[in-house]
Structure 1
């Protein structure tokens, strides 16, 4: 269902890099959840930013859950 989601990237050419990556994710060839190292409640967002910024505890990607 259309949820009006917007995907934004940093310094990346969408057609050259993102489209092929998204296609591979859709086909199940890549699992982007592998980079998630920490899942925290939204109330712990300051802690999540701190461990991400300082690369503490092997942090690669933090997902905040409302």
Structure 2
């Protein structure tokens, strides 16, 4: 995805990676990045800043998060859910834990 973003960005534009980007990048297009004067910006998401306002919008029905939820597990299976997410098993993107 990062390679695709770099190759799709207009010259002089910016590519931003927000959140957790794990793993090594193979065949990183450094030439395209440098020759087209792209700005590469990264950073962790400010979870504490956005969590409450987003949760309130979900509760009001303004945002539907179901399109990103791929797995729902009981709270007792937290460790399994984390491992599945971390290792990208079973096409896992987002796990919701139910108490």
Scaled by the length of structure 2, what TM-score is found? 0.40
Aligned positions of 1:45-60 closer than 5 A:
45-60=78-93
In 2: Cα distance, 1:51 partner to 1:27 partner: 29
5+ long unaligned stretches in structure 2: 1-43
- Structure 1 equivalent of residue 70 of structure 2: 37
Tell me the C-alpha RMSD between the 2 structures: 2.7
Aligned mate of 2:96, from 42, 59, 63 = 63
Q: Decide which structure has the larger Cα Rg and report it.
A: 2
Scaled by the length of structure 1, what TM-score is found? 0.57
Structure number with the higher strand fraction is 2
